[in-house]
Amino acid sequence: MILLFLGTLLGIIFGPALFILVPYIRNYFAGAVCKSKAKLNGKVVLITGANTGIGKETARDLAKRGARVILACRDTAKGEVAACEIRAETGNQQVIMKKLDLADTKSIRQFAENFLAEEKELHILINNAGVMLYPYAKTADGFEMHLGVNHLGHFLLTFLLLERLKQSAPARIVNVSSLAHLMGRICFHDLQGEKFYQRGLAYCQSKVANVHFTQELARRLQGTGVTVNALHPGTVQSELTRYSSVVSLLWKMFSFFLKTPQEGAQTSIYCAVAEELESVTGQYFRGCSELSFASSPLQFQH
């Protein structure tokens, strides 16, 4: 009886307060917004994995800013639907879909060859595509899937397009990593996970590789006018959890606390357009700001 009374009393006192606070709590979890008003008319942008999630929202925003946006997608039907939607919404007819399967180096080479033949400039490359919690599988070239798609595929793509980026300088490379890298190690003795495989750790390894790649490429690109930065988008309600029904369910249950793909795209957009980042390179971003601890030396496991 007393408990019921107390419960009702607390409900009467805190109920309305909670109701008023809900938008503020949501706003907190939505995270920072890219405030840059930069226009991108005449600029060429390439985004991998742009048919859904963070990549699609990044493409939508950069298309609104006037860029020629190439959506590089493994599933051309899904990619075309996304491109059509963005063209219709933004009125920007320079939104184009091209086939790219990062799990196959033949597809990457074919994509790059066509791209270099068709596009004379490339100002912003966003290495966004990714898989997480993939059951053990190998790419067409025999690389473990997380490492192959999330890191090696983007590594090859970037390498093949590097001269075009240099010719188009100032240019930017944006690598979508994840704070999951903090839990990762590069297992040089078993890079392809043939002796031991845990899909969460395989994802973390690929994200550590993204960070090392960013730091070393930034060093090698000093003085070229091409910058390269990595970022964590936040925890985002996207299709990334599709290979795990348990994590998908958790993501749905707690969706109130997760970012929408549009909110999750803000740091990618920031790294791609913010005027103040013109010469910032080799850094790690989260919530549209630089994160210093993530650039501390990472550990290798030999």
Ligand X SMILES: NC(=O)C1=CN([C@@H]2O[C@H](COP(=O)(O)OP(=O)(O)OC[C@H]3O[C@@H](n4cnc5c(N)ncnc54)[C@H](OP(=O)(O)O)[C@@H]3O)[C@@H](O)[C@H]2O)C=CC1
Q: Which residues bind ligand X (CB under 6 A)?
A: 48-49, 51-55, 74-75, 78, 100-103, 128-132, 149, 176, 178, 232-233, 235-236, 238-240
Q: How far is the CB of 243 from ligand RET (least distance, A)?
A: 12
Residue 250 contacts which entry, ligand RET, ligand X, none (Cβ below 5-8 A, type-dependent): ligand RET
Which tokens go with 263? 């909110």
Q: How far is the CB of 178 from ligand RET (least distance, A)?
A: 3
Cβ neighbours, 10 Å, residue 301: 12
Decide: 126 and 228 in contact? Cβ < 8 Å.
Answer: no
Residue 209 contacts which entry, ligand RET, ligand X, none (Cβ below 5-8 A, type-dependent): none
Residue 101 contacts which entry, ligand X, ligand RET, none (Cβ below 5-8 A, type-dependent): ligand X
Closest of 185, 189, 198, 101 to residue 141, by C-alpha? 101
Q: Write the CB contacts of 142 (distance below 8 Å, at least 6 apart in sequence).
A: 192
**Intra-chain end-to-end CA distance of the chain, in Å:** 64
Count the alpha carbons within 13 Å of 168 in the hemisphere toward its beta carbon.
Answer: 21
Peptide bond into 170 cis (omega under 30): yes
Is the Cβ of residue 186 or residue 236 nearer to ligand X in the bound state?
Answer: 236
Beta bridge partners of 284: 230
Is the Cβ of residue 166 or residue 212 nearer to ligand RET in the bound state?
Answer: 212
Is the Cβ of residue 160 or residue 179 nearer to ligand RET in the bound state?
Answer: 179
* Residue numbers at the binding site for ligand RET (CB under 6 A): 132, 178-180, 235, 250, 254, 257
Residue 75 contacts which entry, ligand RET, ligand X, none (Cβ below 5-8 A, type-dependent): ligand X
Is the Cβ of residue 101 or residue 144 nearer to ligand X in the bound state?
Answer: 101
Q: Is 185 exposed, middle or buried (0-12, 13-18, 19+ CB in 10 A)?
A: middle
Alpha-carbon gap, residue 95 to 110, rounded angstroms = 20
Is the Cβ of residue 128 or residue 229 nearer to ligand X in the bound state?
Answer: 128
Residue 164 contacts which entry, ligand RET, ligand X, none (Cβ below 5-8 A, type-dependent): none
Which tokens go with 100? 């790219």
Q: How far is the CB of 85 from ligand X (least distance, A)?
A: 14
Residue 238 contacts which entry, ligand X, ligand RET, none (Cβ below 5-8 A, type-dependent): ligand X
Eight-class DSSP state of 51:
S
Closest of 271, 302, 298, 301 to residue 287, by C-alpha? 271
Is the Cβ of residue 13 or residue 250 nearer to ligand RET in the bound state?
Answer: 250
Q: How far is the CB of 285 from ligand X (least distance, A)?
A: 12
Q: How far is the CB of 243 from ligand X (least distance, A)?
A: 9
Active centre residues (catalytic): 203
Alpha-carbon gap, residue 93 to 74, rounded angstroms = 21
Q: How far is the CB of 130 from ligand RET (least distance, A)?
A: 8
